[in-house]
Amino acid sequence: MTTMTVEFGWCPDPLDFAIGDITVATLADLDTKVAGVSEGSGVDSDWIYAPLYVMGRGVHQRPYASRIFGLPKTHCLSHAAADGPEHIEFLVWALSFFMGMRLTTTEAGFLDATPIKSHALIDFVLSPREYLPALAYAEAFWQANKAHRVRAHRWIAAVHALFIAQYPRALQFERFIYLYGALDALFKLAGDFHHVPKGAVSHHRRVSWMCGLFNMPLPAWADASSGSSPVGNIRNNTLHESLYMDAPLGFALHGVGTNLHLTLEMQAMICRFLVALIGDPGADYVRTPVTTRQMQGWSP
């Protein structure tokens, strides 16, 4: 174990705190960096989009975005007894989830677009002082599972899928595929900690099984009491037959003319599972309904 420090971004808010071996600090010239990004090109409705693809050193541009892009580093995270780069990366991903915006240590760690303000990609709000106990959960998770690092990888994968599903230009079937992938990762992670009845948890019953683990209300789209669940049926048709709502991908939407908001509720459910599995299954937030657009409180 050794002291490790990494710079990360993009975060427009000053963050300066320490808990245990972890220290987060704001880099110099944050105001200048924030102004440069928020007033620059490619920003729309508090999201920044990938720039147009530029060929070589010339001024020629392709008529499409480069997709992968970078933003200035704004903060650094240090750990006085780090197990290695994966340990630090996991903590940055955890802070990314707690803040509800993509944070990265890489040179070009953003895909297609990313929000430039915090709390855009989650449905709960933490105050800066609450980042400390939240990061303590992440550190405890790492320490408890560092011999099985795939568990941290699965948690990160679910966060990433949750985030990229919310790309403003994504079609609904694309959002669904990413979100279902996040649910699958979380089911696998939950199975690392809890006994999964052999052969009893099909795709139709995975969400209901996880809801049962954490005493969470079951949304109608995950109810498999009839033998199958709506979300399981949509998943099977989409992935196995390239049919979304009985139409070719992109030609139909779920919930038209109703009050149903499947992908929004899936996003909210994923947030609750992520909180429960990072180490706070008893939080009141975990059992709040997913059928509302209202921001919720979580007090780690």
pLDDT tens for 27-40 read 999 999 999 999 98
Query: Do 46 and 168 share a domain, yes or no?
Result: no
Examine the domain organization and report whether 161 and 61 are in the same domain.
no
* pTM metric for this prediction: 0.95
DSSP letter at 160 equals: H
Q: Are residues 121 and 258 in the same domain?
A: no
Please state the rounded mean pLDDT for residues 267-291.
96
Tokens of residue 158, six digits:
């679910």
Residue 124 and residue 297 in contact, taking contact as beta carbons nearer than 8 Å: yes
Residues 299 and 163 in one domain: yes
For residue 40, the enclosing domain spans 1-147
Q: Is it the case that residue 124 has pLDDT exceeding 80? A: yes
Share of the chain above pLDDT 90, in %: 84
> Do residue 167 and residue 287 come from a single domain?
yes
What is the average per-residue pLDDT within 14-28? 96
pLDDT tens for 235-250 read: 999 999 999 999 999 9
User: In the predicted model, what is the mean pLDDT of residues 139-161?
Assistant: 97
Confidence (pLDDT) at 244: 96
Q: What is the mean pLDDT of residues 136-165?
A: 98
Q: What is the pLDDT of residue 293?
A: 84
Q: For residue 57, what pLDDT is reported?
A: 64
For residue 2, the model assigns a pLDDT of 83
Measured CA to CA, the distance from residue 22 to residue 37 in angstroms comes to 28
Both 142 and 159 in a single domain?
A: no
Claim to verify: residue 156 and residue 256 sit in the same structural domain:
yes
Nearest to 94 by CA among 298, 277, 294: 277
CB count, 10 Å around CB of 268?
A: 23
| Longest distance between any two alpha carbons in the chain, whole Å | 61
Please indicate, yes or no, whether residues 21 and 137 belong to a single structural domain of this protein.
yes
Does 58 have pLDDT greater than 70? no
Task: Check whether residue 288 and residue 160 sit in a common domain.
Answer: yes
- Considering the domain architecture, whether residues 118 and 176 belong to the same structural domain is answered as no
CA-closest candidate to residue 173, choices 252, 240, 119, 104: 252
Indicate the number of domains in the chain.
2
3-state secondary structure of 52: strand
Phi then psi dihedrals of residue 221, to 5 deg: -70, -10
Distance CA(250)–CA(89), nearest Å, equals: 35
pLDDT for the residue numbered 259? 76
Residue 275 pLDDT class (50, 70, 90 cuts): very high
Judgement on whether residues 123 and 165 belong to the same structural domain of the protein: no
- Decide: 235 and 204 in contact? Cβ < 8 Å: no
Last residue within a domain, chosen from 147, 181, 197: 147
Last residue of a domain, one of 147, 175, 199: 147
Rg for the chain (alpha carbons), in Å? 20
Beta-bridge partner residues of 25: 76
CA atoms of 217 and 208, how far apart (whole Å): 9
Distance CA 192, CA 186 (A): 10
* Residue 221: predicted pLDDT: 95
- Residue-wise pLDDT for 160-204, tens only, equals 999 999 999 999 999 999 999 999 999 999 999 998 887 778 889
Identify the domain boundary among 124, 147, 170: 147
**C-alpha to C-alpha distance for 118 and 124, rounded to whole angstroms:** 11
What pLDDT, on the 0 to 100 scale, is given for residue 87? 97
* Residue position matching structure tokens 């947030």: 271
Residues 112 and 49 in one domain: yes
Angstrom distances, CA of residue 221 to CA of 42, 118, 180, 254: 36, 29, 12, 11
For the chain, the average pLDDT equals 93
In this prediction, residue 56 has a pLDDT band, given cuts at 50, 70 and 90, of low
Q: How many CB atoms lie within 10 A of CB 70?
A: 15
Least confident of 77-81, 112-116, 290-294: 290-294
Instruction: Residue 133: name the closest of 13, 26, 18 by CA.
Output: 18
Report pLDDT for 253: 93
192, 265 Cβ separation under 8 angstroms: no
